[in-house]
């Protein structure tokens, strides 16, 4: 017997497409380039793209899991290929509102990095390849970055359902590091806008 798709009490299953990260069971939230003003280093290159086009930079699921400590939130995050000047398309990234909560991301397809940093300034970049999981420790902000210029980066994430998202801190301060293409290679550099 088929359960309700989202039966958080008795359990449920749903399908994700491993190549696209999408699911027939639920829609995604889309973030367009115009939603990310100020987050890329090169504002004039950003404005130049928007004159002719406002691409979807990434989309992700929000399943509506009950926001309780014992529940899990999960879904796919899909970051599309592209660059603003030499900076790869990326997600906004966030801290968790409950800072002491970790998260796992399993790469289903594509090639990219997870950029992480904590409030004290420690940072790291972990590579995403299909089948490779990244553990984001508690207290670390995290942002997915797609370094493949043809294929989307698709990851499946799971975290504590009541963790919450703090986007504001990152929108105000930025990340300490950027991932840019330098001589054809992804290279972490200092963010000139970081404050």
Binding site for Mn ion (CB under 5 A): 103
Assigned token pair, 169:
């801190």
Closer CB to Mn ion, 103 or 117, in the complex? 103
CA dist 91 and 94 (Å) reads 9
CA dist 34 and 47 (Å) reads 9
Q: How far is the CB of 73 from Mn ion (least distance, A)?
A: 9
Q: Which residue is nearest to Mn ion (CB)?
A: 103
CA distances in angstroms from 50 to 36, 45, 55, 58, 84, listed in the order given: 11, 9, 8, 16, 10
Closer CB to Mn ion, 103 or 148, in the complex? 103
Closer CB to Mn ion, 23 or 104, in the complex? 104
CA dist 136 and 115 (Å) reads 9
Q: How far is the CB of 171 from Mn ion (least distance, A)?
A: 15
Closer CB to Mn ion, 59 or 103, in the complex? 103
For residue 126, what is the enclosing H or E element? strand 123-128
Cα 59 off chain centre by:
8
Closer CB to Mn ion, 139 or 176, in the complex? 139
Q: How far is the CB of 159 from Mn ion (least distance, A)?
A: 5
Assigned token pair, 36:
């990310």
CA dist 112 and 155 (Å) reads 10
| Closest among 91, 93, 83, 116 to 186, alpha carbons compared | 83
Q: How far is the CB of 54 from Mn ion (least distance, A)?
A: 25
Q: How far is the CB of 158 from Mn ion (least distance, A)?
A: 10
């Amino acid at each position: 017997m088929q359960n309700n798709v989202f039966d958080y009490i008795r359990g449920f299953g749903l399908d994700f497409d491993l190549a696209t990260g999408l699911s027939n069971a639920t829609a995604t939230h889309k973030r367009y380039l115009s939603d990310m003003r100020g987050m890329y280093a090169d504002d004039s290159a950003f404005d130049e793209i928007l004159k002719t086009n406002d691409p979807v930079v990434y989309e992700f699921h929000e399943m509506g899991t009950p926001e309780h400590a014992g529940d899990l939130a999960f879904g796919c995050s899909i970051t599309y290929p592209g660059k603003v000047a030499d900076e790869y398309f990326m997600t906004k990234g966030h801290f968790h509102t409950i800072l002491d909560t970790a998260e796992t991301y399993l790469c289903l397809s594509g090639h990219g990095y997870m950029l992480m940093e904590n409030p004290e300034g420690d940072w790291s970049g972990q590579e995403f390849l299909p089948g490779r999981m990244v553990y984001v420790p508690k207290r670390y902000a995290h942002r997915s970055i797609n370094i493949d210029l043809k294929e989307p980066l698709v990851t499946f994430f799971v975290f504590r359902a009541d963790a919450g998202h703090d986007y504001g801190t990152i929108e105000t301060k930025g990340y300490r590091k950027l991932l840019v293409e330098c001589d054809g290679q992804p290279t972490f550099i200092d963010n000139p806008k970081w404050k």
